[in-house]
Amino acid sequence: MKQEIKPATGRLGIMVVGLGGAVSTTMIAGVLSARKGLAKPIGSITQMATMRLENNEEKLIKDIVPLTNLDDIVFGGWDIFEDNAYDAAMYAEVLKEKDLLPVKEEMQAIKPMAAAFDHNWAKRLNGVYVKQPATRWELMEQLRQDIRDFKATNNCERISMIWAASTEIYIPMSEAHMTLEAFEAAMRADNTEVISPSMCYAYAAIMEGAPFIMGAPNLCVDIPAMWELSKKMHVPISGKDFKSGQTMMKTVLAPMFKTRMLGVNGWFSTNILGNRDGEVLDDPDNFKTKEVSKLSVIENIFEPEKYPDLYGDVYHKVRINYYPPRKDNKEAWDNIDIFGWMGYPMEIKVNFLCRDSILAAPIALDLVLFSDLALRAGMDGIQTWLSFFCKSPMHDLEHEPTHDLFQQWRMVKETLRTMIGEKAPSYLD
């Protein structure tokens, strides 16, 4: 049965945490350029991917479901530095000046609000444009007011919020995260050990009826308290950690080995990365958060308990090294030791010289647009179908996530087909 989806009328405010970051400014510049016909939104599923319908007609996804048009988007958000989007993009050096100049005026008009920031959660950063609340509860209330003010000032009908800021330190889930009541009590008590700045953003967004997407691997919306709140407020949530480079390759290669029943002895992954993200991840506490995210992928795909002869003893190592000269141009190396017929060993080497923000920017755009679609379709809670875009797909405590990229892509299409009341084709799609 076809779902009732509210039309994408009016303006959609995309509010970004980390507005002056490399990913954010790259996304903004790309959208503004696409509006002017100066660039194609390459890498964006919402803008360029197609899907086959029951009548065998193949159409763009954006022509099948009512997504917000790029012309109806307004950008805003928060950052720990006051630079406008243009100056921040120039500093990030992801895009060349010649590609920024045609949208310079529009980007200069996009200025951040003071951020919710706690140095203890990102010790390599020194925020200079930050809020000074008395408690985490007061911090959350200030963020809610920011959302209301932005929505009113920019005449937005809806808001979709995304975290594109740095990775926070690793913390395990605690009792304060298990229920909404306990979580709110911890915020009011200003328990800064368990309530992170990102959690304040997420709570504020959900309370204001805005979908929230966690684009980093830190603990945030992937806790029962947030699931409870998102259900209560009828708001979709998704995450976590943009699946852009090395992990994207793993979610393609690992299913290939498993499909062919080829064994794996070891998988060594290392990266060099500059920019602000690389600097933050140079701290062991912040790297731990990213490491847990990256390590979770192949074990889930391989199912070692089911295939012990092939994947029962895989040695998986992940490293990230801060190397300032590379800036946003990350380089990833993978050495994979596999074995085949009669146990004979083979090796695969992958050297991916990627541009981190060029890969992540369209992911961020797709996540905010699909989350807004989900909101208008009356969907709430964890959006499992958006796992396609995430390294650590969010899931409840009773289920395991799906990491196989091709299974995730099928989930996207099945969800969209359900929205429009179509069945999946009987042939392989």
Model confidence over 44-84: pLDDT tens digits? 999 999 999 888 889 999 999 999 999 999 999 999 999 99
In the predicted model, is pLDDT for residue 224 greater than 70?
A: yes
Q: Distance from CA of residue 211 to its chain's centroid? A: 13
pLDDT at 288: 76
- List the domains of the chain with CATH numbers: 11-242+357-420 (3.40.50.720), 246-353 (3.30.360.10)
The β-bridge partners of 333 are: 270, 351
Q: What is the pLDDT of residue 245?
A: 85
**Residue 391: CB partners within 8 Å, gap ≥ 6?**
217, 240, 241, 242, 243, 247, 293, 294, 296, 297
Q: Do 214 and 220 contact (CB within 8 A), yes or no?
A: yes
Say if residue 185's pLDDT is above 70: yes
pLDDT, the chain, mean: 93
Q: Which residue has the higher pLDDT, 213 or 330?
A: 213
Q: What is the pLDDT of residues 360-408, one digit of tens each?
A: 999 999 999 999 999 999 999 999 999 999 998 998 888 888 889 999 9
Interatomic CA distance for residues 194 and 209, integer angstroms: 24
User: Is the full-model pTM beyond 0.85?
Assistant: yes
pLDDT of res. 179: 98
| Interstrand relation of 58-60 and 50-52 (parallel, antiparallel or unpaired) | antiparallel
Supply the pLDDT for residue 124. Answer: 87
Tokens of 52: 């086959």
Instruction: Please give the pLDDT value at position 427.
Output: 62
Q: Would you place residue 290 in the very low, low, confident or very high pLDDT band (cuts 50, 70, 90)?
A: low
> Which residue type, as a one-letter code, is found at position 106?
E
How far is CA 112 from each of CA 130, 228, 298, 352, 414, rounded to the nearest angstrom? 11, 30, 38, 33, 37
Determine the Cα–Cα distance for residues 20 and 87; give it in Å rounded to an integer: 8
